[in-house]
Structure 1
Amino acid sequence: MDVKDLLIDGIERSQEACRAVLRGLTADQANTRPGGDHNSITWLVWHIAREQDVQIAPLGGTPEVWTGQGWFERFGLDLPAASMGYGHDTAAVGKVVVSDTALLTGYLDAAVEATKAYISSLTADRLDDIVDERWDPPVTRGVRLVSIIDDAAQHAGQAAYVRGLLFG
């Protein structure tokens, strides 16, 4: 197994976890916010897809699938197209709702496919390329990919927790 296979396996695990969390839930259940104002399963899964999409597109020099494949229009959220969840206040979180969980899994699958295609296109030596000099130390391509995978795994775990908290 090479490093690309490991990275792809990592991102697929959060996708599988999200699909398991959503299995059998109605849109209303997925949209439910614990305590009335915390992150819903919908918001968490949407954010997992968005955070991948927002970071992978510039690395690969491709358009985001959110706007390039029409997901922004299909979701019809009352949020700017560039919104991805980072820095959302409770009002913005509340705007991320769906009428069908298939919309969530569709966008998640599209974002994961773009991520996998990007990772598959890399050679091992490109993982050491500096992609962000705003940090100390500067962020390499490999570290950025691990960060994306880690963020997705953490939010998938949160979605599983919310499901258990609300629906047993």
Structure 2
Amino acid sequence: MKATDVIADGFGRIREIVHEVVEGLPTEQLNARVDPAANSITWLVWHLTRIQDDHVAQAAGLEQVWQGGGWVARFALSLPTGSTGYGHTARQAGSVQADSGELLLGYFDAVHEQSLRFVRGLAAADLDRVVDERWDPPVTLGVRLVSVLADDLQHAGQAAFVRGLLERR
């Protein structure tokens, strides 16, 4: 198995979790917060999608799906266009709401497809390309993709946990 196949498989696992979490939930549960400082399922899925979109698009030299696919307008959030959720206050996180699970999944699936197209087009040697020199050591494409996978899996797991809490109420 090629390293890029392993990365693609990881992105597929994130997709499975996100769909399991979002599908069938009413909007009020997607946007619910278990306490005033907690993140909602909407915020968690939006954030993990924004991080994947931002980081993969940058590494691939592509336009982010968020801007290029019209998702900024569809979500109509009161946040700067480039916001990914990183460093959000509880108030900012609470402002991220979706009108439906279909909206969340539509954006997620569009980003997932762009990420898979990019990853499937890579050769193993591409993973050694430096994509961020602001760190010591500089970040390679392989490290960046693993970082995205790790972050997304954590947030997908958090969203699954929140769904479980909400369903038990």
| TM-score, normalising length: structure 1 | 0.97
Give 1:106's aligned residue. Answer: 106
Q: What is the Cα deviation at residue 99 of structure 1? A: 1.2
- How big is each residue's C-alpha offset from its partner over 1:110-140, in whole Å with a ceiling of 9 and x where there is no partner? 1111111111121111111111111122111
- How big is each residue's C-alpha offset from its partner over 1:35-89, in whole Å with a ceiling of 9 and x where there is no partner? 1231000000001110000011111111100000100100111111101100000
Give 1:127's aligned residue. Answer: 127
CA–CA distance in 1 between the matches of 2:137 and 2:166? 41
1:43 aligns with 2:43: yes
CA–CA distance in 1 between the matches of 2:12 and 2:30? 21
Q: Indicate conservation of the 8 Å contact 2:53/2:111, yes or no.
A: yes
Question: Quick one: percent identity of the two aligned structures?
Answer: 49
Q: What is the Cα deviation at residue 166 of structure 1? A: 1.8
Amino acid at match of 1:160: A
CA–CA distance in 2 between the matches of 1:23 and 1:122? 31
Q: Indicate conservation of the 8 Å contact 2:98/2:104, yes or no.
A: yes
Q: What is the Cα deviation at residue 23 of structure 1? A: 2.1
CA–CA distance in 2 between the matches of 1:34 and 1:51? 23
Q: Indicate conservation of the 8 Å contact 1:28/1:99, yes or no.
A: no
Give 1:12's aligned residue. Answer: 12
Look up the SS of the partner of 1:143 in the other structure. helix
CA–CA distance in 2 between the matches of 1:98 and 1:23? 13
Runs of at least 5 residues in structure 2 that lack an aligned partner in the other structure: none
Instruction: Give the ranges of 4+ consecutive aligned residues of structure 1 lying more than 3 Å apart after TM superposition.
Output: none
CA–CA distance in 1 between the matches of 2:28 and 2:36? 13
1:155 aligns with 2:145: no
Runs of at least 5 residues in structure 1 that lack an aligned partner in the other structure: none
Q: Indicate conservation of the 8 Å contact 2:53/2:64, yes or no.
A: yes
Q: Indicate conservation of the 8 Å contact 2:36/2:90, yes or no.
A: no
Give 1:91's aligned residue. Answer: 91
